[in-house]
Amino acid sequence: MNVAMQKNRPLIQCSVIFSLVCLLGISPVSQARMCKWVDADGNTHYTQTPPPEGITKEDLNLPASVNLDNTEAVKAFEDQQNKKNELAEESKKNEKEGNRSAEHTALKKENCRKAKAKLENNQNTGRIRAVDESGNIVRATEEERQRRITEAQENIKKWCV
């Protein structure tokens, strides 16, 4: 900054503030001026511009602000927000149910795969080992093998539908 501006800085600040105060004091009160007029066809017009020459007009002075009862609007907004919240909760619930359904489907597929593998193993293996009451590994009888095959087939019917 040069020296002249530094000396005049308070004066510049005061003149800016004074200008702003004057502008605020001069600004008109916001009041809309409207004209009402009827054209040759009988149509009523409401405008801020004057009508064409030769047409009588009526000046309407509208207040700057109108105090409206907004309780209905507030109630409608609250109802809309409540509906939005209900839909969001329902969407979350449906999403959880969808996840459970997907988990159930994956579990069924896995159980089906295991049942098919057991059936194939029991049908293709001639020697099936089993554990007796003492904990010893012994060869399973043919009846035991057939029982395991039947059990695997039932599990396939249960899980592979």
Assigned domain for 23 exists = no
* Mean pLDDT in residue range 107-112: 90
pLDDT over 90 for what percent of the chain?
9
pLDDT greater at residue 111 or residue 97: 111
What single letter denotes the amino acid at residue 42?
G
Q: Clarify whether residues 87 and 135 are in a common domain.
A: yes
User: In 70-97, which positions are buried (b, 16+ CB within 10 angstroms) versus exposed (e)?
Assistant: eeeeeeeeeeeeeeeeeeeeeeeeeeee
Query: What integer best gives the mean pLDDT of the chain?
Result: 79
Number of separate domains in the chain: 2
Assigned domain for 11 exists = no
CA 85, CA 89: separation in Å to the nearest integer?
6
Per-residue pLDDT of 49-82, as tens digits, reads: 888 888 888 887 766 655 566 788 888 889 999 9
Assigned domain for 5 exists = no
Per-residue pLDDT of 9-20, as tens digits, reads: 666 776 767 666
Which structural domain, as residue segments, surrounds residue 36?
31-62
